[in-house]
């Protein structure tokens, strides 16, 4: 275990069931992880499915946590939350009740069979960058050496992303 804590950024996504409830339930479960504190949570954003597009729209959010747990230990906690909530991994980019991905773990650059940090595709996905920009626009990508705000400007993703709070108000 790390002797000091790290700030970690996570992406949450869901496109099955009552999506806002799924995100809220996942956030509540994340708050129960030992040696970990939830720091910030973005708004919820609605996005069309990415990759495999013939499925329901997603609801996504990004949050930051502070933790003393190592990345692979955290990953096991996240997989346990996904399974406890009922996630079934049917196929790549398929529908999901909840998906929890590690985007950044401090400035760590890490690769194992199970995990790559920073997340290797985050710079190509608006559904990650827009909520991440909301809570950490000046966060520097340790590999690409660009801030989140800069990454949005060069993101090739053309999918529309809509603040879920605005949809509720309309």
DSSP of 50-65 = SSS-SSPPEEEEEEEE
Q: How far apart are CA 159 and CA 125, in angstroms?
A: 9
Q: How far apart are CA 42 and CA 125, in angstroms?
A: 16
pLDDT digits (tens, 9 = 90+) for 139-165: 999 999 999 999 999 999 988 899 987
**CA distances in angstroms from 35 to 1, 41, 73, listed in the order given:** 11, 18, 11
Q: How many CA atoms lie within 13 A of 93 on its CB side?
A: 10
Per-residue model confidence (pLDDT) at position 90:
61
CATH code for position 164? 3.30.70.560
pLDDT digits (tens, 9 = 90+) for 114-144: 999 999 999 999 999 999 999 999 999 999 9
Q: Which domain holds residue 42?
A: 6-169
Q: What is the pTM of this model?
A: 0.92
Residue 136 lies in a domain: yes
Per-residue model confidence (pLDDT) at position 63:
97
pLDDT digits (tens, 9 = 90+) for 12-62: 999 999 999 999 999 999 999 999 999 999 999 999 887 777 788 999 999
- Reference 11, options 111, 95, 126, 144; nearest CA is 126
pLDDT digits (tens, 9 = 90+) for 100-117: 999 999 999 999 999 999
Residue 85 lies in a domain: yes
Residue 121 lies in a domain: yes
| 170, pLDDT greater than 50 | no
Catalytic residues: 87, 96, 99, 101
Residue 1 lies in a domain: no
Q: How many domains does the chain have?
A: 1
Residue 26 lies in a domain: yes
């Amino acid at each position: 275990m790390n002797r000091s804590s790290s700030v970690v950024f996570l992406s949450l996504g869901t496109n099955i069931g009552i999506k806002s409830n799924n995100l809220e339930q996942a956030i509540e479960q994340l708050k129960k992880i030992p040696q970990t504190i939830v720091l910030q949570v973005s708004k919820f954003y609605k996005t069309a499915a990415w990759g495999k597009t013939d499925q329901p729209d997603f609801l996504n959010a990004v949050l930051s946590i502070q933790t003393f747990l190592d990345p692979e230990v955290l990953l096991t906690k996240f997989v346990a939350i996904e399974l406890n909530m009922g996630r079934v991994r049917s196929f790549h980019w398929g529908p999901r009740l909840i998906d929890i991905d590690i985007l950044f773990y401090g400035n760590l650059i890490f690769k194992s069979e199970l995990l790559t940090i920073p997340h290797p595709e985050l710079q190509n996905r608006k559904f990650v960058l827009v909520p991440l920009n909301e809570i950490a626009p000046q966060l520097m990508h340790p590999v690409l050496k660009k801030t989140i705000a800069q990454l949005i400007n060069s993101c090739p993703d053309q999918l529309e992303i809509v603040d879920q709070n605005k949809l509720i108000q309309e």
